[in-house]
Amino acid sequence: MSGTRQEIAEARRLVVKVGSSALTTAGSGLDVARLDALVDAIAARVAREAQIVLVSSGAIGAGLAPLSLGKRPRDLATQQAAASVGQLALAHAYAESFGRYSLTVGQVLLTSDDVVRRSHYRNAQRTFSRLLALGAVPVVNENDTVATQEIRFGDNDRLAALVAHLIGADALVLLSDVDGLYDGDPRDGATRRITEVLSESDVDGISVGMSSSGLGTGGMVSKLAAARTAAGAGIPVLLAAAAYAAGALGPADVGTAFAPADTRLSARRFWLGYAADASGRLRLDDGAVTAIVRRRRSLLAAGIIGVEGDFQAGDVVDLVDTKDIPVARGVVAFDAGELPGLIGRSTPELPAEFRREVVHADDLVPLRR
Q: How many CB atoms lie within 10 A of CB 143?
A: 21
DSSP, collapsed to helix, strand or coil, labels residue 243 as helix
Phi, psi of 6, rounded to the nearest 5 degrees = -65, -40
156 is in an annotated binding site: yes
DSSP, collapsed to helix, strand or coil, labels residue 274 as helix
204 is in an annotated binding site: no
Helices assigned H by DSSP within the chain: 3-10, 32-46, 59-64, 76-99, 113-116, 118-133, 156-166, 220-232, 245-248, 267-270, 286-293
Q: What type of residue is 64?
A: L
157 is in an annotated binding site: no
How far apart are alpha carbons 136 and 102 in whole angstroms?
10
144 is in an annotated binding site: yes
250 is in an annotated binding site: no
Contact 291, 297 (CB under 8 A): yes
By the 10 Å C-beta count (0-12 exposed, 13-18 middle, 19+ buried), 260 is classed as: buried
Within 13 Å, how many C-alpha atoms sit on residue 341's CB side? 8
Helices assigned H by DSSP within 182-244: 220-232
337 is in an annotated binding site: no
177 is in an annotated binding site: yes
217 is in an annotated binding site: yes
56 is in an annotated binding site: no
219 is in an annotated binding site: yes
55 is in an annotated binding site: no
How far apart are alpha carbons 284 and 265 in whole angstroms?
24
218 is in an annotated binding site: yes
Listed residue (323, 369, 14, 328) closest to 168, CA to CA: 14
Give Cα 160 to chain centroid, integer Å.
5
223 is in an annotated binding site: yes
How far apart are alpha carbons 296 and 321 in whole angstroms?
15
- Numbered residues of the known binding site for ATP: 17, 176-177, 217-223
Q: Point out the annotated binding site.
A: 17, 57, 144, 156, 176-177, 217-223
Residues making up the binding site for substrate: 57, 144, 156
